[in-house]
């Protein structure tokens, strides 16, 4: 008999509870990755994410070979594939790490039901979240949190850091015997994750996916950047952020592993480094809040949390939308951010807020349009983060305060890119270029946006 290990968003060896459980069974391990884009519907991985996924799977496959496990690939329906494998490959147990997206959870429930009918043991690892979303509710109303600060305070007060400090598994043993290869498995290239046009080759200049690089990136951040994290993370030209989001997205490193690294610093009881570690931990909890929100409000991936933000609230402007996408708005820091996104597959978080604010507030174009563009171009595209981030800026999601989030990109550039280093890096000699006419007048469009919010949202007209 064999143990079936289904990899999803946990593409690592170290501190991987699903892999550890599979090895502990003492039977040959059949490791599989199933690419099933139809099950993610409109939110299947975008072009940049597929590039990252391809590279990450290649690294994982190489690493698994070192412990006597062959990673087998399938481009197929996950429910049918797991059920067929379990029967035809003489599987006695199946283990996987849950994904946090509600629509994926439905498929996982179907798979578990089919396996249990066959008398096959199922082990599902709850590793994507650091809290139990179903049980983590407001004290006063026993309902899901919609505001971050009370969510953060409760979670932080209940967070057992000692648990993370002691549960870090660093040694991965080899499988006792190689599992047989399933005859219908495919090669990684046959998953067709990479677009035929080699546009994605430029991403190699900026990123190196995989578990090893994820660990190195965390170490580098803690040793070199964490000390000044709070003061430097808002400046786009400084290397002040962790650069871990894409590694986290595919589980090349886990939130639990990161917290384990932060614990000794937080336990120092005072001092700047302990304070900075707490600030970074708060950002990890913000990421948790995004997953929590999507779990309780799954419709928000396509619909506004506030129903007053109907389609009629937004403008249809394909010309200006294309200018925004191509970084041709005539507003330097906005265009620099969009060029950074197109060239590198990422954008500094401060600039993400600026480009989102311009699109939804000043230009009046729907947040869904922006979310879909980010989804296709970000290497760290994550449904929960992308959804909550865009709705947060647009003012129709959690923590909503639409009247106070109209960022002035020129003022922001003077504050966070005073010398123009970020703008000069991503735009072609902007100081010598003839200024372009901005797509909108910032002052006038701000007034119009406030009027629109006041008339349609406050008065529900």
Mark whether 341 and 397 lie in a shared domain.
yes
Mark whether 121 and 136 lie in a shared domain.
no
- The total domain count for the chain is 3
**Of 90, 74, 95, the residue nearest 10 (C-alpha):** 95
pLDDT confidence band for 435 (50 / 70 / 90) = low
The predicted structure's pLDDT at residue 211: 97
Structural domain contains residue 174: no
The predicted structure's pLDDT at residue 269: 67
**What is the average per-residue pLDDT within 235-243?**
93
Lowest mean pLDDT among 2-16, 42-56, 441-455: 441-455
Question: What CATH number should be reported for the domain holding residue 34?
Answer: 3.40.50.620
Mark whether 444 and 401 lie in a shared domain.
yes
Mark whether 81 and 113 lie in a shared domain.
yes
Structural domain contains residue 304: no
> What's the chain's average pLDDT?
90
Mark whether 215 and 340 lie in a shared domain.
no
Q: Taking 80 as the threshold, does the pLDDT of residue 146 lie above it?
A: yes
The predicted structure's pLDDT at residue 456: 73
**What is the average per-residue pLDDT within 388-410?**
86
**What is the average per-residue pLDDT within 71-76?**
95
Last residue of a domain, one of 252, 270, 296: 296
pLDDT confidence band for 399 (50 / 70 / 90) = confident
Structural domain contains residue 17: yes
The predicted structure's pLDDT at residue 461: 46
Domain extent for 49: 1-128
**What is the average per-residue pLDDT within 31-51?**
93
pLDDT confidence band for 404 (50 / 70 / 90) = low
**Of 52, 159, 18, the residue nearest 382 (C-alpha):** 52
Interatomic CA distance for residues 388 and 291, integer angstroms: 9
pLDDT confidence band for 167 (50 / 70 / 90) = low
Q: Taking 90 as the threshold, does the pLDDT of residue 61 lie above it?
A: yes
Mark whether 241 and 369 lie in a shared domain.
no
In this predicted model, what pLDDT tens digit does every residue of 86-141 receive, in sequence order? 998 889 999 999 998 888 889 999 999 999 999 999 999 986 667 777 788 888 88
Last residue of a domain, one of 79, 105, 128: 128
The predicted structure's pLDDT at residue 204: 96
Look at the alpha carbons of 110, 114, 119, 120 in this order and tell me if their dihedral is positive or negative: negative
Q: Taking 80 as the threshold, does the pLDDT of residue 384 lie above it?
A: yes
* Rg, the chain, Cα only: 23
Q: Please count the other Cβ atoms lying within 10 Å of the Cβ belonging to residue 21.
A: 17
55: part of which helix (H) or strand (E)? Answer: helix 47-65
Question: What CATH number should be reported for the domain holding residue 223?
Answer: 1.25.40.80
Mark whether 59 and 113 lie in a shared domain.
yes
In this predicted model, what pLDDT tens digit does every residue of 174-215 receive, in sequence order? 767 666 667 778 999 999 999 998 899 999 999 999 999 999
Structural domain contains residue 349: yes
Last residue of a domain, one of 97, 128, 159: 128
Structural domain contains residue 357: yes
Lowest mean pLDDT among 175-189, 234-248, 355-369: 175-189
Residues 70 and 21 sit within 8 Å (Cβ to Cβ): no
In this predicted model, what pLDDT tens digit does every residue of 287-316 receive, in sequence order? 999 999 999 999 999 999 988 888 788 999
């Amino acid at each position: 008999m064999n143990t079936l290990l289904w990899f999803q968003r946990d593409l690592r060896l170290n501190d991987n509870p699903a892999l550890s459980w599979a090895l502990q069974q003492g039977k040959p391990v059949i490791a599989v990755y199933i690419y099933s884009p139809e099950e993610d519907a409109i939110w299947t991985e975008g072009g940049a994410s597929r590039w990252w996924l391809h590279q990450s799977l290649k690294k994982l496959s190489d690493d698994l070979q070192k412990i006597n496990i062959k990673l087998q690939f399938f481009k197929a329906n996950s429910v049918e594939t797991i059920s067929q494998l379990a029967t035809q490959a003489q599987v006695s147990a199946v283990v996987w790490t849950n994904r946090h997206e509600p629509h994926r959870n439905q498929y996982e429930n179907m798979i578990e039901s089919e396996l249990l009918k066959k008398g096959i043991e199922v082990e599902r690892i709850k590793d994507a979240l650091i809290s139990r979303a179903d049980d983590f509710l407001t004290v006063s109303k026993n309902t899901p949190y919609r505001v971050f600060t009370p969510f953060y305070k409760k979670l932080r007060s209940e967070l057992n850091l000692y648990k993370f400090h002691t549960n870090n598994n660093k040694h991965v043993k080899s499988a006792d015997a190689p599992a047989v290869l399933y005859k219908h498995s495919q090669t990684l290239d046959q998953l067709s994750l990479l677009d035929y046009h080699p546009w994605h080759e430029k991403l190699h200049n900026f990123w190196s996916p995989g578990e090893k690089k994820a660990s190195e990136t965390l170490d580098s951040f803690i040793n070199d950047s964490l000390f000044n994290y709070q003061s430097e993370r808002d400046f786009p030209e400084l290397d002040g952020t962790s650069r871990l989001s894409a590694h986290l997205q595919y589980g090349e490193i886990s939130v639990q592993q990161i917290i384990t690294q932060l614990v000794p610093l937080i336990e120092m009881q005072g001092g700047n480094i302990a304070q900075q570690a707490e600030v970074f931990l708060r950002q990890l909890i913000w990421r948790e809040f995004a997953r929590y929100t999507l779990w309780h409000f799954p419709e928000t991936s396509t619909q506004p949390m506030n129903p007053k933000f109907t389609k009629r609230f937004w403008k249809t402007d394909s010309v200006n939308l294309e200018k925004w996408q191509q970084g041709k708005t005539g507003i330097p820091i906005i265009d620099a951010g969009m060029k950074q996104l197109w060239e590198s597959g990422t954008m500094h978080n401060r600039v993400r807020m600026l480009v989102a604010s311009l699109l939804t507030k000043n230009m009046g174009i729907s947040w869904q349009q922006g979310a879909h563009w980010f989804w296709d171009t970000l290497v760290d595209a994550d449904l929960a983060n992308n959804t909550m981030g865009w709705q947060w800026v647009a003012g129709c999601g959690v923590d909503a305060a639409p009247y106070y989030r109209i960022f002035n990109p020129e003022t922001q550039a003077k504050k966070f890119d005073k010398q123009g280093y970020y703008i000069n890096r991503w735009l072609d000699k902007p100081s010598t270029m003839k200024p372009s006419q901005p797509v909108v007048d910032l002052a006038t469009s701000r007034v119009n946006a406030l009027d629109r919010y006041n008339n349609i949202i406050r008065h529900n007209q």
